[in-house]
Amino acid sequence: MNFDERIVVTGGAGFLGAHVVCALAKRGYANVSVIRSRDFNLTCPEDVERMLRSRPADVVVHLAAVVGGIGANRRHPGTYFFENLMMGALLMEKSRLAGVKRFLSAGTICSYPKFTPVPFREEDLWVGYPEETNAPYGLAKKMLLVQSEAYRQEFGFDSVNVLLVNLYGPGDNFRPETSHVIPALIRKCLEAVETGASEVEVWGTGQATREFLFVEDAAEGVVAALEKLGSSAPVNLGSGHEVSIRDLASRIAAITGFTGQIRWDPSKPDGQPRRCLDTSRAKAWLGWSSTTSLEDGLRRTVDWYRENRQP
């Protein structure tokens, strides 16, 4: 890639997108356009065409997505499937027709089968069906891997893919209806401290495990993939460290100063039993690995939320 190439970032004003735009600027890329949903509906073919006409691109970084936690996935499975599939499929097809030279798609760990052996290796993507609560979202993103490889084979279209583990960090979504586990727990604990509540409720048993990647590390990984990946084979981007939700809740409670009881609700789903990635491909192919510990990342996220949240 050349530093003067025209780069379009869908979802560039979002959580990950804003950090990717900053990472691109730090690397010296000066011609970056941010695509916002208020300006273009990427599930509409005419809007995708209009976007590519008004923002001619040499490179497209597709980060736009409709995402949420377990509750949001259970409430909107059709919406999550349709919008994520159509955004990616249309954008890749219209980019090919518009002469885009390179296309990066950000996939998700939710595409992995429910009982994937831990740590998740990219070769295991197709050994089973995803965890049911987020399968529509995970499968929609997974189809873009198929499209990417098929377009490379038939059209020589240069499309590459990364698979992102659960992200967190400054700028995360803290809205109760759609937030993921880390911002949800931070908000609950801080509000409990302020109101003097003696307990907070958390979905599930706490036994499920997850892997979390600090968003600034993720952004560096995306830029590394954009510059270095030479095939459509997906690459895991993660920290490589597994933590139980119970342990995570205890860490967040300590950082926020919440000393009350964490009450688990086993009537609610845990989601996928375990999640932890094998990141050896990212190290070998991209020379990338995460550098922010979970403890440091959580403290930075809590500090950011304290300073920026609305009453």
CA distance 186 to 174: 8
Residue 182: φ, ψ to 5°: -65, -55
Give CA separation, 51 vs 102, 133, 177, in Å.
16, 33, 30
Torsion angle of C-alpha atoms 48, 73, 203, 178, degrees rounded to 10: 30
3-state class (DSSP) for residue 259: coil
Catalytic residue list contains 129: no
Q: Which of 6, 150, 23, 164 is nearest to 92 (CA)?
A: 150
Q: Out of 29, 80, 112, 137, which one is annotated catalytic? A: 137
CA atoms within 13 A on the CB side of 287: 5
Write the DSSP assignment of 142-204 as a string of letters: HHHHHHHHHHHHHH---EEEEEE-EEESTT----TTT--HHHHHHHHHHHHHHHT-SEEEEES
Q: Are the C-beta atoms of residues 256 and 186 closer than 8 Å to each other? A: yes
Burial class (CB in 10 A: 0-12, 13-18, 19+), 74: middle
CA distance 209 to 215: 19
Structure tokens at 166: 């659960």
CA distance 154 to 80: 28
Query: What residues have CB less than 8 Å from 23, skipping those under 6 apart?
Result: 216, 219, 220, 222, 223
Catalytic residues: 137
